[in-house]
């Protein structure tokens, strides 16, 4: 009987104050983002460890090599206190490296993180309004995500064996400038063609670097910030007249690969959440009401690789 051992701690929320600022990000035309001060950095972290040293706990109940998952939770906080945490990916790398350095019987690990965004609140200032240096408001929509696979490199260090970065929770509605027509029709088709329609999408956008070390942001000029990806997707959606969601994500993906030559792959997981029409004004057809759509939802994916 073959086996593969994994265990760990999930949903560890860490709120870190005064992390190292992110500066020097290469600007792109679609986004005003150039960095973040990281006065408050927050993430939901999961660590999963791998190794044959844990097999006796499964086979015989021998827990002598088992690092309790509660210990893992405490360790994540301790390592986060020492981490620079400039980017989510660097934060995960620093915590994951600390695990492998501290517990030599862990052969490798997977560490996953989701941003918990707390943008600065906008407050009155002497000459108008500006971002507070002490008050932050939880943003519960979009999140940056990252996953790193780490193992020892045989020379006393740690190497990245796999990685993935992403932006989840995008919800974008465009009232005009989208179409869906000329699709295949048969006896089962009831959907009308629309040369211009509102389009509401939920989207997850992913990316991978050619050189995984670029994901850490040690060279900020080669780092792709999740905020920039959101801004780019919104800019393309705004200006591009798409003939389908497939057409739209293809355009966004090509723009991403054009803007960031350090990326090897971009991916999309989108849902069509277009609202059901409620009522239409008799005097002005632009004035309408809509209701949330009933499931099921259209599901569209795409991966583009160089």
Q: Which of 9, 73, 145, 270 is catalytic?
A: 9
Catalytic residue among 39, 69, 174, 204: 69
Q: How far apart are CA 292 and CA 236, in angstroms?
A: 25
Q: What pairs with residue 36 in β-bridges?
A: 22
Q: Is 13 a catalytic residue?
A: no
The dihedral sign for the CA sequence 237, 238, 240, 245: positive
Is 71 assigned a catalytic role? Answer: no
Q: Which residues are catalytic?
A: 9, 69
């Amino acid at each position: 009987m073959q086996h593969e051992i994994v265990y760990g701690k999930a949903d560890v929320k860490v709120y870190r104050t005064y992390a190292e600022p992110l500066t020097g990000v290469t600007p792109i035309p679609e986004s005003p983002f150039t960095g973040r001060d990281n006065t408050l950095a927050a993430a939901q972290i999961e660590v999963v460890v791998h190794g044959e040293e844990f097999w006796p706990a499964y086979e015989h109940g021998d827990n002598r090599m088992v690092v309790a998952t509660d210990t893992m939770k405490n360790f994540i906080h301790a390592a986060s206190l020492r981490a620079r945490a400039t980017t989510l990916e660097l934060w995960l790398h620093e915590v994951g490296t600390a695990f492998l350095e501290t517990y030599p019987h862990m052969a490798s690990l997977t560490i996953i993180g989701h941003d918990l965004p707390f943008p600065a609140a906008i407050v009155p200032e002497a000459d108008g309004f500006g971002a507070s240096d002490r008050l932050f408001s939880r943003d519960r929509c979009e999140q940056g995500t990252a996953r790193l696979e780490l193992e020892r490199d045989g020379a006393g260090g740690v190497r990245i064996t796999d990685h993935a970065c992403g932006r989840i929770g995008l919800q974008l509605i465009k009232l005009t400038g989208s179409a869906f027509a000329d699709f295949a029709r048969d006896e089962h088709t009831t959907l009308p063609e629309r040369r211009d329609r509102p389009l509401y999408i939920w989207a997850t956008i992913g990316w991978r670097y050619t050189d995984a070390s670029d994901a850490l942001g040690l060279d900020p000029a080669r780092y792709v910030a999740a905020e920039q990806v959101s801004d780019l997707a919104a800019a393309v959606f705004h200006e591009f007249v798409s003939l389908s969601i497939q057409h739209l994500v293809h355009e966004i993906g090509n723009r991403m690969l054009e803007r960031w030559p350090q990326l090897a792959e971009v991916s999309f997981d989108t849902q069509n959440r277009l609202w059901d029409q409620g009522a239409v004004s008799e005097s002005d057809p632009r004035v309408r009401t809509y209701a949330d759509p009933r499931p099921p939802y259209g599901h569209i994916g795409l991966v583009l690789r160089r």
